[in-house]
A and B are shown apart, each in its own frame.
Chain A
Amino acid sequence: MKRRNLFAASLAAGALAAGRKSWASVPEAAQAMGRTAPPGTVPALTPARVHADQIMDIKVCLRPFRPAGPRLEIEPVADKIVVHNYGHGGSGWSLSWGSAAMAVERAAPLMEKHVAVIGCGIIGLTTAITAQRAGMNVTIYARDMLPHTRSVRANGSWTPDSRIALITAATPDFAATWERMARYSWQTYREYLGLPGNPVDFRDNYLLSDTPPDEADHTEPAPDISKGSYASTGVPQSEAEFAKYADRIKDIIPAAELLAGADNPFPVAYARRKPIMIYNFGAFGHALLSDFYQAGGRIEIREFHSPSEVADLPERVVFNCTGYAARDLWGDKSLIPVRGQTAWLPPQPAANYGVRYKGAAMLSKSDGLMVQGVNLSGLGELEGVGNSMEQPNRAEAEQAVAVFEDLFSRFRPRRG
């Protein structure tokens, strides 16, 4: 309650918050809520054109959620050694390089020069390139190339602890493993910043709210005990069951800052700005494939129907990077589908930012303006859990689009 008042006070100079508390306690509020952006650092924003009649594609994806966290284990199959690297939930893009480094580290003492990677999603590609960087010759075997994988049906930004594990199912050392993965990935992604086509880039993401954001951020709905838990039902039943690790790496992740008063260009009471790392699928996929081929990599399109088929491969070390498909291919029933959907509008490079408002996310990327319902139902991390319906839901897409259509209809662009 106290913080709520402090935060309101920090915005009291803005017309929308007029009538609340005095402006006097801004430093206190900033301390509680994060730094206040220096006046004048918010550029004149071009409003985004977000309308249902602009939707050009709707993509649906199943996050490969494993309550224990991603599987990074070695398993002998026939005369091969399989190194598993799958089950990255809603964090596969973010954690890919670090997870790849760990998988390659497990394989390195086997001293094999020629290795196989099954899968050409973000995990397979980064594993293949990481293996090449460690001196291995790599052949990728996959049913689909990247553009047809679930990976490119994601949002594609830095979300390293989104549905990555459950507190009760992950081993105690997973937090440290996660931290190592996240740090390694973050640093590797920086290698791709500033390249032609901006395969990896940053966007200012505006986090908007009509109510004090500290409440929205910190109040978790009380778990409904009658529903049970993962332990009793095999599926998480409350948001509180999901492990959150972001605080472990906050020393390297740019924080959010408050936009106070007249510096807040949006027609909402509360706005924060946070630079986020994003992945432009087209440019980044192209960069990865080019890297892989230039290092002598080979790709063979092939579908595996059972684990025993790895016996046919000439390589003796095989990285299994099949994502959600490992549930059937490898019989890993611990994988829980978490459905998610993104709608794509034509690219709008003039509106080059992201917005998060009323449970929906908008992100301007080089291959389109992405709109996603991230929490339209108010279920938070539970949204989509256990849902393996991979067909687009037009109504849901339009609901997310409507959030921004409404927001920008009220937006008054600053002149000059």
Chain B
Amino acid sequence: MAQHPIFAKQAQKARGFCTALLAATGLVATAHAALAAPRHAPAAPPAPAAPSFTAEQADHGAQIYAGTCAMCHGAALEGAHDMPPLRGLFVARWANTSLNKLYAYITHAMPLMAPGTLPPQDNIDVIAFLLRENGTEPGHTPLPADENRLAQMVFPAPNALPPVKAAQPGKAPRTR
């Protein structure tokens, strides 16, 4: 069974233990259900798809990132006090947003000291790298450098907890 991405990245030492626990809690199975039905989605029909990209794209994106982006966002995408991280909070900010918006933003605003200077394929590969670093597995279909097709995909939140189930007896969720 695939490992829940957040544990793969963040709790490497406790790996076996977490996997077992996650399997027991059913988190892994339900994480993808959460993906299919995003809770914060501004989704318009047709239903947005999870993006696909190849490992080669992500590897190339990693090179572009190291040379062009890491000087501000950090070698490990960690950001700093005055610099946005590209993991963690980044997912919370972009999840369920269609990828053409992320592509447009990177194309127009990044890299900050020379916006718009990266060729389209480099920008696409950087997005592939960001997807992989934030827990989406690479696949066989490349991420397309095509805004219309990107508009059909959203940035996934692969670590999101499953949607809250209908109230269980004796465990009513608190309303605020």
Which residues of A are at the interface with B, using a C-beta cutoff of 8 A?
73-76, 78-79, 81, 104-106, 108-112, 114, 134-135, 137, 180, 183-184, 187-188, 314, 316-317
Contacts and interface: CB of A to CB of B under 8 A. Distances in A.
B11 A184 contact: no
13 contacts: A73-B11, A75-B11, A75-B14, A75-B18, A76-B18, A76-B21, A109-B95, A109-B134, A109-B135, A109-B159, A111-B95, A314-B174, A317-B161
A314 B81 contact: no
B80 interface: yes
B79 to A, nearest CB: 8
A31 B141 CA distance: 61
A105 B88 contact: yes
Contact of A108 (B18, B81, B89, B173): B89
Nearest to B175: A314
Nearest to B85: A105
A187 B25 contact: no
Contact of B176 (A75, A81, A108, A137): A137
Interface in B132-160: 134-135, 157-160
A105 B87 contact: yes
A183 B157 CA distance: 29
B6 A110 contact: yes
Contacts of A314: 173-174
Given A104-B88, A187-B82, A314-B174, A110 B160 contact: yes
Contacts of A78: 25
Contacts of B81: 183-184, 187-188
Contacts of B80: 180, 183-184
Given A74-B10, A75-B18, A187-B82, A111 B157 contact: yes
A106 B10 contact: yes
Given A105-B88, A108-B90, A188-B81, 15 more contacts: A74-B10, A74-B11, A74-B18, A75-B11, A75-B14, A76-B18, A105-B85, A105-B89, A108-B88, A109-B91, A109-B157, A110-B160, A180-B78, A180-B80, A316-B164
Interface residues of A: mostly helix, strand, loop or mixed? mixed
B173 to A, nearest CB: 5
A74 B9 CA distance: 11
Interface in B26-49: 27, 39-40
B176 A114 contact: yes
Nearest to B164: A316
A180 B25 CA distance: 33
B22 interface: yes
A110 B88 CA distance: 9
A93 to B, nearest CB: 17
B25 A76 contact: yes
A317 B95 CA distance: 18
A109 B6 CA distance: 8
A88 to B, nearest CB: 19
Contact of B88 (A73, A75, A106, A135): A106
Contacts of A106: 6, 10, 88
Contact of B92 (A111, A114, A180, A188): A111
A188 B164 CA distance: 35
Contacts of B7: 74
A75 B25 CA distance: 12
A160 B39 CA distance: 40
Nearest to A111: B160
B161 A316 contact: yes
Contacts of B160: 109-111
Contact of B27 (A73, A76, A137, A180): A76
A73 B11 CA distance: 6
Contact of A76 (B22, B89, B159): B22
A108 B135 CA distance: 13
B92 A134 contact: yes
A209 to B, nearest CB: 35
